[in-house]
Amino acid sequence: MNHTTMKATSVISEAWRSITSGAARLAPAVLALALTAAGMGVMDIAAGSTILNQASAYRQSGADILVLNAPDGIDAASCERLTSLTNVQAAGAIRTTDPLTLAALPDTTTPLYQITPGLARLLDTKQDTNTTGLIASQQVAETLGTSTGGTIGLADGRTAHVKGVYQYPDDGRTPGYAYALMEETPATGTFDACWAKTWPQTSQTRNALWSTLTPNAKTTGDDAPTLGQLNTTKGDGFDGQTLYRQRSTRILPACGALIALAIGYLLIRGRRLEIASALHCGVPKPALATQIIIETGITILLATAISLPIDMTAARLLIDTTDRTAITLNAIQTTITTNTAYLLATTITTLHIKERHLFTYFKER
């Protein structure tokens, strides 16, 4: 070894001896980095999970169902065709017809609606495809003690088969359909309303609903068309992308970097006497910096081997498959920034240690 160069094998050997002797403080460095990266990664994944749960609750409440009301002014075929749009999962038309009097309840009438096949799918109706007849709400089915494939007795002596049953929770949705019967009819003619289940919600989808109006639809008075949500209790929209971009945990990669800078600085500062002594013994600073980089690289690899599985496990537990990859990659940004900052801190701090300060470091130890 001379004063200007040092063999690569010697540098690697010195790094290995430093690690095995404990001088590199490998274990505490790995633990600190892994806890920083994994902890912040899990926090970010949890924040994403919270937003996804809010989105799920929004959709389960029926708030993602848009309703265009226009009495006798909806073209049923146009309403059904809305499913050709990317953001429309189901769409169908509905209209009011004469109520029915049931044999079990002769003193009251039960609302009856005619619907197109798309609306039955929108309501997630549990149907028997081999049966023709009426679709009952869960409340009607429970009151009459019937279910899909069963029958309903009418007051005039007729019997109607139950083709399917749908649920309509009392969670703020437009009233009138929780206790009702529906009759599926072809998507022809005019109806009173068009329902569309949309996700994600966009202004383009809202505008598309207006295209289902017939030329003869009334535009003024009480029957003028209105567009709204089936359930307004969750707000008039849900912009999940904006919520995710504005989440409080978005600053965690920067926080992780700051913590890693501090860890790297403190680690090398604690070894300043050792490093200054090596310089005094003739070890070239580039070789010494390379040694520290090797030690740091091993630390980073071990810390990543701990933190990455933790983040991926948290993602599998908290995030569904649709959004898991994107949210996990965002969480891993903390690992990347943490490791990068740690490498910079150890390298730069090493380069700033001077041989001439050896005796100062000795007195300060």
Does 121 fall in a domain? yes
Does 81 fall in a domain? yes
- What is the per-residue pLDDT for 280? 60
Alpha carbon distance 109, 101 (integer Å)? 5
Alpha carbon distance 162, 137 (integer Å)? 10
Whole domain around residue 258: which residue ranges?
8-57+243-364
Q: What are phi and psi of 155, to 5 degrees?
A: -65, -25
On whether both 285 and 218 belong to a single domain, the answer is: no
- What is the per-residue pLDDT for 20? 74
Distances (CA, A) of 156 to 105, 131, 160, 184, 364: 12, 22, 11, 21, 102
- What is the per-residue pLDDT for 21? 73
On whether both 13 and 149 belong to a single domain, the answer is: no
On whether both 250 and 343 belong to a single domain, the answer is: yes
Residue where one domain finishes, among candidates 187, 211, 236: 236
Burial 211-243 (b: 16+ CB within 10 A, else e): ebbeeebeeeeeeebeeebbbeebeeebebeeb
Residue where one domain finishes, among candidates 236, 269, 295: 236
Residue where one domain finishes, among candidates 220, 236, 252: 236
- What is the per-residue pLDDT for 2? 44
Count structural domains, the chain.
Answer: 2
Mean pLDDT by 10 residues, the chain (365 residues): 57 72 81 95 96 94 95 96 95 96 93 96 90 93 94 93 95 94 95 95 91 89 90 88 92 95 88 67 75 89 95 95 92 94 92 63 53
Neighbours of 194 (CB within 10 A): 32
On whether both 38 and 84 belong to a single domain, the answer is: no
Does 2 fall in a domain? no
On whether both 25 and 71 belong to a single domain, the answer is: no
Does 118 fall in a domain? yes
Does 33 fall in a domain? yes
- What is the per-residue pLDDT for 223? 81
Alpha carbon distance 32, 26 (integer Å)? 10
Q: What is the DSSP pairing of strand 190-198 with strand 65-75? A: antiparallel
